[in-house]
Amino acid sequence: MKTVLLANRGEIAIRIARTCSDLGLRTIGIYSEDDANSLHLSKVDEAYKLEGKGAQAYLDIKTIIRIAKESKADAIHPGYGFLSENALFASSVKRAKIKFIGPNEKTLNIFGDKTSAKELASSLNIPVIAGTNEKTSIRQAQSFMKSLRKNSSVVIKAISGGGGRGMRVVSKTDELRESFDRAASEAKASFDSPDLYLEEYLKNYRHIEFQVIGDGTGAVSHLHERECSIQRRYQKLIEIAPSPSLNPELKTKMIEASLLLAQTVKYEGLATIEFLVNAEKNDFRFIECNPRLQVEHTVTESVLSLDLVKAQIQVASGKTLRQIKLEQKNIPEPRGYAIQSRVNMETIDSQGIANPGGGIFEKFDLPSGPGVRADSYGYAGYETNPLFDSLIAKIITYSPEDNFKQAIKRNYRSLCEFKITGVPTNLDLLKNILVNQDFRNNNSKRNFRRNGRSERGFKPNNDRAKFSSNFSNNENFQRKIPGRNNHNAPKLIEKYNNLAREALSVGDKILSENYFQHADHFTRILNEQESFKKKRFSVDSLENKDLDENKNLEEVKKEDTQNKVANDKEQVEAKVV
């Protein structure tokens, strides 16, 4: 392997390019027609323009393979998102006699489908979440809910879905039908398919995942765990390595399950096996396997002093775990704690609802110092593009001390040092979470910030929320997010929903969530417009009603006068006679 094409952009393309440079590999970058100013292009040896604009250009399999051939690339690294989990892309790259840095087509097909992944796990006696696992009717849903233990809840999910769309938690049987119908409607609007399935809803469980690596021969090693329980709308915000919640006995069982799953398919490359965990009950359930490099791989690298991208490339080059000294006996125990905070462009209103943001980075100063790492594509003067993911930067901090609160302190300080102006961000939200006592005391579960609403004692800072709300109404900001002051909202909702569905169709869950966030934003705008119209109509109706009543009153008075005059005239005529 001598030349690697990076089939991605932004911070992850920069991250991969740096490791390739360390390994002495030539790098090829790609960019869409509207992405020529992206920082990743300054980190590669050569760059080629794609046809088209926005994220869709990065999903063009034929063009990417053509560029790989023209540039004489002998390997393609997909990063995360975009085509990283696309089995067709992996097989097309193989047919072009180019190495795909990742698992093979068969493995991607297994883990790319939630049902097949759960079936594999279940066949290996790995605990899974009870569910219908297929297209489910309302009758089947009612029957499944009744089959669960008393006082159990269910979660309704869209078969074609992701990012929380078409998802409803139901605790009472008599509320199931209404929630089922609403979920089907939302799933149809988001994914063009109303098909749903049900799972048991596990309350007070944490989200913990294990990093594994395999060389394709059946040899697999684990690289310990990460905790990702702090989420909004089922999207991760803060990741921690190692988990401060696991006991040794439970961790051992989860490691065995993760390795068994990867060994069974003779996994090649990096994979993340994800679970829901209740340490108090000594219970864990398999959720899914992400067959790619994760956004949060950084925290594992920090506590193990490893370069996971380097390991990926070495395995793809044909080296075994033994040759690269990553057999299990060579994997060290995690030392200290690492925390990653995801900084996104967004505003957050007083209800905790996030709206996508954008603009020009007027000031952009990343934090630095001992134990501080910032992965970003930003620089002062860069203008963001709403057609790409809203992630600005990943702020990763490492503390070698075995002290979770000390690790939190370092991440909080680094977020405070991050100076960015020109775009709205979630920096204040992240800082508020880090100083929250439940989080600091490790009492936060997966629903700590579920759906962006205040839970478990966490409340958004009112001043920050007020500022964010005012910022979103600012005239300059409104110009950067089209649709707020015109009648394009319905078209924009349809546009972003369609883009999200296209992204999902090629397996890009990260990009689809970004598009769905934009669709949600314009849906709220449309609802505000409709609400305003209704209020205006109500006022106009009352005014018209009052006018009609006044008009009728005048007509009655006039009629009475005319009648009185006629009566007087008749009386006069009668006297004359």
Residues classed as catalytic? 292
Q: 375: helix, coil or strand?
A: strand
**Residue pair 306/335 in contact by the 8 Å Cβ criterion:** no
- In the structure encoding, which two tokens stand for residue 383, read together? 């203008």
Please list the residues that pair with 394 across neighbouring strands.
342, 375
Q: 91: helix, coil or strand?
A: helix
What DSSP state is assigned to residue 336? S
What burial class does residue 492 get, using C-beta atoms within 10 Å of its C-beta: 0-12 exposed, 13-18 middle, 19+ buried? buried
Residue that is written with structure tokens 């390994």 in the block: 23
**Residue pair 149/161 in contact by the 8 Å Cβ criterion:** no
CA 551/CA 549 separation, integer angstroms: 5
Sheet strands (E) in 377-451: 391-399, 419-421
411: left (phi over 0), alpha (psi -120 to 50) or beta: alpha
82: left (phi over 0), alpha (psi -120 to 50) or beta: left
CA 264/CA 253 separation, integer angstroms: 17
Helix (H) or strand (E) holding 5: strand 3-6
